[in-house]
Amino acid sequence: MISTFSFPTKILFGPGAVERLPGEMDQRGMRKPLLVTDAGLARTAVFTRVHKLAPDAVVFTQVDPNPTEQNVLDGAELYVSEGCDSVIGLGGGSPLDAAKAIRLKVTHPLPLADYDDLVDGWKRISPDLPPFVAIATTAGTGSEVGRSSVITIEKTNRKTVIFSPYLIPSVAINDAELTLDLPAGVTAGTGMDAYTHNVEAYLAKGYHPLCDAIALEGARLASENLPRVMANPRDVEARGNMLMSSMMGAIAFQKGLGATHSLAHPLSSEFGMHHGTANAVLLPYVLEFNHGAAKERMITLARQAGVPDIIDRTKELNRLCRIQPRLRDYGIPESSLGMLAGKAIEDGCHLSNPRPCTEEDLLHLYRQAW
């Protein structure tokens, strides 16, 4: 059963949905797309399946686990030199975010730093972007339906959010069959990323009942289905539910995120820690920090998920996912925590945290998690 949704973009959802790719390309006049993925995925049967559906695509695989400005520039250069007319992104958040930024760069000449959301870069982004099909292979960032791309800019070595409604892909394809063979660690980290997006979006400051409703259901889906996927990786129904939770998180966090993400971003840019895993480690401490400012919303999250306490459930999910509980478990040196706090306070995500954060607060959270 394949359903077609149009919120916020056209979404093809269901096992086998990827087979619709040629038709979607024809509708958009995509004759020679740049197929953006990463080197690891390019060696898998998933990539082979997609490439057969788009045999004239020019393949670009130079995408780091935390995509960089150089990745984007290299991809844009290949796009232009090969005469490409469109983009296909295949993978998790890293290839999809890189694909979005490449798509932006081929028609927007300014340095990527000028499109930083913190300096109102969205005002410089216009709608003249080539067609873009996003195909998710992980249930984590929901980048296939998101309005933003997160790229590490060379000048600052800071994860930079580039945001615009024009960055939303032309069509998203979410096919649970493409996620069945994900390694357990990737399933765990990306799954907790989806869970964190929904939880933080619901708790974020601001009035957005639409996003709140989506985030509540997205958090429930992740809480119920991530343990199922960890127990049985080939549970297609649970995999599909995690893809839905991932998309719902990305739709919901247009409202905002929170301190967890401000803390997690420097861990990736400085030490290469997987973003979803960093979120998973940090989220329980941030929830405890926020408890007094968001008590009623935490009660609602727990009630929606059918659990007594959302903080305890978060810790339980980490245990079920076999995620080590401390930053030291991932090689983060204690001596770096002050530097990391300095970078975290520069990250805009904490501005929508339900409890205001100082640099000292963020340092204390790092120390708790270390």
- Whole-number Å distance between alpha carbons of 134 and 358: 37
pLDDT over 70 at 6, yes or no = no
- Whole-number Å distance between alpha carbons of 303 and 112: 42
pLDDT over 70 at 340, yes or no = yes
Question: Do 42 and 61 contact (CB within 8 A), yes or no?
Answer: yes
pLDDT over 80 at 1, yes or no = no
Average pLDDT for the chain: 94
pLDDT over 70 at 173, yes or no = yes
pLDDT given at position 117: 86
- Percent above pLDDT 70 for the chain: 99
* Both structure tokens of 204: 């974020």
pLDDT over 80 at 7, yes or no = no
Structural domains in the chain (count): 2
pLDDT over 90 at 332, yes or no = yes
pLDDT over 80 at 211, yes or no = yes
pLDDT over 80 at 157, yes or no = no
Judgement on whether residues 70 and 202 belong to the same structural domain of the protein: no
Judgement on whether residues 211 and 358 belong to the same structural domain of the protein: yes
Confidence of residue 75 (pLDDT cuts 50, 70, 90): very high
pLDDT tens, residue by residue, 111-135: 999 999 888 999 999 999 999 999 9
Judgement on whether residues 174 and 210 belong to the same structural domain of the protein: no
Judgement on whether residues 224 and 316 belong to the same structural domain of the protein: yes
Judgement on whether residues 21 and 156 belong to the same structural domain of the protein: yes
Burial zone of 206 (CB within 10 Å; 0-12 exposed, 13-18 middle, 19+ buried): exposed
pLDDT given at position 330: 96
Mean pLDDT of all residues in 198-221: 96
Domain span including residue 67: 3-178
- Whole-number Å distance between alpha carbons of 70 and 152: 9
Judgement on whether residues 200 and 296 belong to the same structural domain of the protein: yes
In terms of DSSP bridges, do strands 132-136 and 171-174 run parallel, antiparallel, or are they unpaired? parallel
CATH of the domain at 170: 3.40.50.1970
pLDDT over 80 at 351, yes or no = yes
pLDDT over 70 at 217, yes or no = yes
Mean pLDDT of all residues in 164-184: 94
pLDDT given at position 81: 97
CATH of the domain at 330: 1.20.1090.10
Burial zone of 65 (CB within 10 Å; 0-12 exposed, 13-18 middle, 19+ buried): middle
pLDDT over 70 at 5, yes or no = no
Question: Do 265 and 342 contact (CB within 8 A), yes or no?
Answer: no
pLDDT given at position 2: 81
Final residue belonging to a domain, choices 178, 197, 215: 178
Final residue belonging to a domain, choices 145, 178, 211: 178
Judgement on whether residues 237 and 365 belong to the same structural domain of the protein: yes
- State the pTM of this model: 0.92
pLDDT over 90 at 3, yes or no = no
Final residue belonging to a domain, choices 124, 157, 178: 178
pLDDT over 90 at 259, yes or no = yes
Confidence of residue 155 (pLDDT cuts 50, 70, 90): confident
Judgement on whether residues 205 and 233 belong to the same structural domain of the protein: yes
Judgement on whether residues 226 and 339 belong to the same structural domain of the protein: yes
Judgement on whether residues 253 and 342 belong to the same structural domain of the protein: yes
Judgement on whether residues 189 and 174 belong to the same structural domain of the protein: no
- Out of 145-159, 169-183, 315-329, which region has the weakest mean confidence (pLDDT)? 145-159
Judgement on whether residues 205 and 335 belong to the same structural domain of the protein: yes
Which of 190, 213, 189, 191 minimizes the C-alpha distance to 201? 213
